Copies of this chain bind each other. A is one copy, B any other.
Amino acid sequence: MKRVNVGLMGMGTLGTGSYKILDMNRETIAKNSGCDIRFKRILERDTTRDRGIEVPMDLFTQDPEEIFNDPEIDIVIEVLGGIEPASTFMLEAMRHGKHVITANKAAIAADYDTFINTAKENNVEFRFEASVGGGIPILNAITTVLGANQFTEILGILNGTTNYILTKMTEYGLSYDTALQEAKEKGFAEPDPTADVEGHDVANKVSVLMALAFDTYIHPDNIPTIGITGITPEAIEEAKHENCVIKLIGKAKKNEDGSLEYSVAPMKLSKDHPLASVSNEFNAIYITGNAVDELMFYGKGAGGFPTGSALMGDVIEIAKKIRMEDK
């Protein structure tokens, strides 16, 4: 069986999730990829933390060059987070002929064309299913079996933290501050939740979705973005009286004249809308194509296992290609 080696950059929640999935589903992954997939090197400073799984100490390195320069490493998974040094590392991995997989929407959205072009120039794959909607396989659908469609609209609940906060405000009449506090306690919000509650995380995801669905890259700074910090219990109550709910929606629309509209903002949705019942930390993407009409994809938008499912799914798809080209 063809051996495929992965270099993992980052052993936090997502790296650990991916590592555990390969351990837990080794046979299934071998059957589905036709390859013997292994983690060969892990870039991570914290080698001693209890991750709930034993990781051989000799896998760890603190030197990214040990991944770039290892000719046996086929694929690099980047889950360091943050724009730098993650972006530099991904581009460097591509220049060393490694296929690159990432969950890093901030990095992709900040410099989409550079990633795509560098991958092309070096004849490597660049996959990022995990960057939008966690485990929800929306990007692969857009780029493969929905390829006979011209997409007209995308509406997404793309951030679990803000959806959790809005759900609790709606269900229990909580204030924003109280709901945020609860989200922090439950682990659904970061100690510094700015990127989530101000909508920047969603803007990154809208940028990635538009690049794939509309073949147009818009920098997230150019996407009008309003978060949820101004949402009051009164506004939510008023929406209820109109049989609506308030959701933070990432929106991208292609008009008939080809012009694009895009935004991140709280929206009032009728309770009949398929997105209205997407609650708590769940994410969903509602997408319309001129052939398929309306579709919705729903699932967990974060977490080590759901996001690891997307990362390892990308590994499997690349491993299949490596095996085919090897024949």
* Residue A312, interface by CB 8 Å: yes
User: Which parts of A292-310 form the interface with B (CB within 8 Å)?
Assistant: 292-300, 303, 305-306, 308-310
Taking A146-B313, A147-B32 as contacts, is the C-beta distance between A300 and B291 under 8 angstroms? no
A313 lies within 8 A of B145 (CB): yes
Whether A317 contacts B274 by the Cβ 8 Å rule is no
Mark A46-83 against chain B: 1 for CB-CB distance below 8 A, else 0: 00000000000000000000000000000000000000
**Is the beta-carbon distance between B290 and A294 smaller than 8 angstroms?**
no
Identify the closest chain B residue to A321 (Cβ): B324
Interface membership of A123, Cβ < 8 A: no
Interface residue from B215, B292, B314 paired with A309 (Cβ < 8 Å): B292
Are B294 and A309 in contact, with the CB atoms below 8 A? Answer: no
Q: How far is the CA of A312 from the CA of B289 in the complex (A)?
A: 13
Question: Per-residue CB proximity of A274-293 to B under 8 Å, as 1/0?
Answer: 10010000000000011111
Binary CB contact string for chain A from 138 to 154 against chain B (1 if under 8 A, 0 otherwise): 00110111111110000
Check B140–A144 contact: CB distance below 8 A: yes
Contacts of A294 in B (CB 8 A): 299-300
- A28 CB–B CB distance under 8 Å: yes
Query: Is A316 engaged at the interface, CB distance under 8 Å to the other chain?
Result: yes
Binds B, one of A129-137, A176-184, A189-197, A231-239: A129-137
Bitwise, A248-276 to B at CB < 8 A (1) or not (0) is 00000000000000000000000000100
Contact A291-B141, Cβ < 8 Å, known A298-B296, A309-B148: no
* Distance (whole angstroms) from the CB of A126 to the closest CB of chain B: 15
| Cα(A310)–Cα(B290), bound, Å | 13
Chain B residues with CB below 8 A from A24, complex form: 290-291
Task: Check if A222 is an interface residue, CB within 8 A of chain B.
Answer: no
Alpha-carbon separation in the docked complex, A289 to B312 (Å): 13
| A29 in the interface (beta carbon within 8 A) | yes
